[in-house]
Chain A
Amino acid sequence: GNSVTQMEGPVTLSEEAFLTINCTYTATGYPSLFWYVQYPGEGLQLLLKATKADDKGSNKGFEATYRKETTSFHLEKGSVQVSDSAVYFCALRGGSNYKLTFGKGTLLTVNP
């Protein structure tokens, strides 16, 4: 079946530091890949997505590239801000399955 593994947190960074949150997946066929962000007290929001190999999703300075050869979709940002503090979820949707398969989430805290 489908599965998503993302790096365990928490991750604590200083403002303007470089961010990487690793995500790898297992799926049959050619899944679509997503990063969601959850700010405190809120629901999950779609941050970015990629639907085929070598696609790069980007939004709000965040990027992730769909790497089929390494089955990875790592999230990166060159310079984080305090407002980026949140929980980040990697997810995939594959084949005829309507469901999203989520990773366990990574808590990011950015200090001023």
Chain B
Amino acid sequence: DAGVIQSPRHEVTEMGQEVTLRCKPISGHNSLFWYRQTMMRGLELLIYFNNNVPIDDSGMPEDRFSAKMPNASFSTLKIQPSEPRDSAVYFCASSFSGEKNQPQHFGDGTRLSIL
């Protein structure tokens, strides 16, 4: 079975540019999570969706960050305008929320570098 698919795997862009990260969750999963990982701050939950609805976006750092989930098989995380401090690895994860013993399954991440 296909796992969580993220694209692109790597993104290098100049500050001020718009960045869009994409995620396809595992089919049948109804919860989707966006994380950011840096050496300094570790793994941070940015936002999560349940049944395509944003449930908790308290981890989104600023208004420059936005996330959407237009349908059950696709989500985007957008940064506009981007800044060098946004450089990090961004992970998407999905799970089935019906039972608490269900783990989250992670994609391989997008390594973002803002110059």
Contact = CB atoms under 8 A, between A and B. Distances in A.
Interface of A: 31-32, 34, 36, 42-46, 49, 51, 89, 93-100, 102, 104-105
Interface residues of B, number: 23
A99 B107 CA distance: 17
5 contacts: A43-B107, A43-B108, A46-B104, A93-B101, A100-B45
A34 B103 contact: yes
> Of residues B42, B48, B55, B100, which shows the largest number of chain A Cβ atoms within 10 Å of its Cβ?
B100
B29 to A, nearest CB: 11
A99 B106 contact: no
Interface string B101-115: 101111111000000
Contacts of A49: 101, 103
A104 B97 CA distance: 23
B103 A46 contact: yes
A98 B100 CA distance: 7
Given A104-B42, A105-B42, A98 B97 contact: yes
Interface of B: 4, 31, 33, 42-43, 45, 48, 50, 55-56, 91, 93, 95, 97, 100-101, 103-109
Contacts of B42: 102, 104-105
Given A98-B48, A99-B48, A99-B56, A51 B109 contact: no
A45 B93 CA distance: 10
B106 A45 contact: yes
Contact of A32 (B43, B91, B101, B107): B101
B50 A51 contact: no
A32 B56 CA distance: 20
Nearest to B108: A43
Nearest to B44: A102
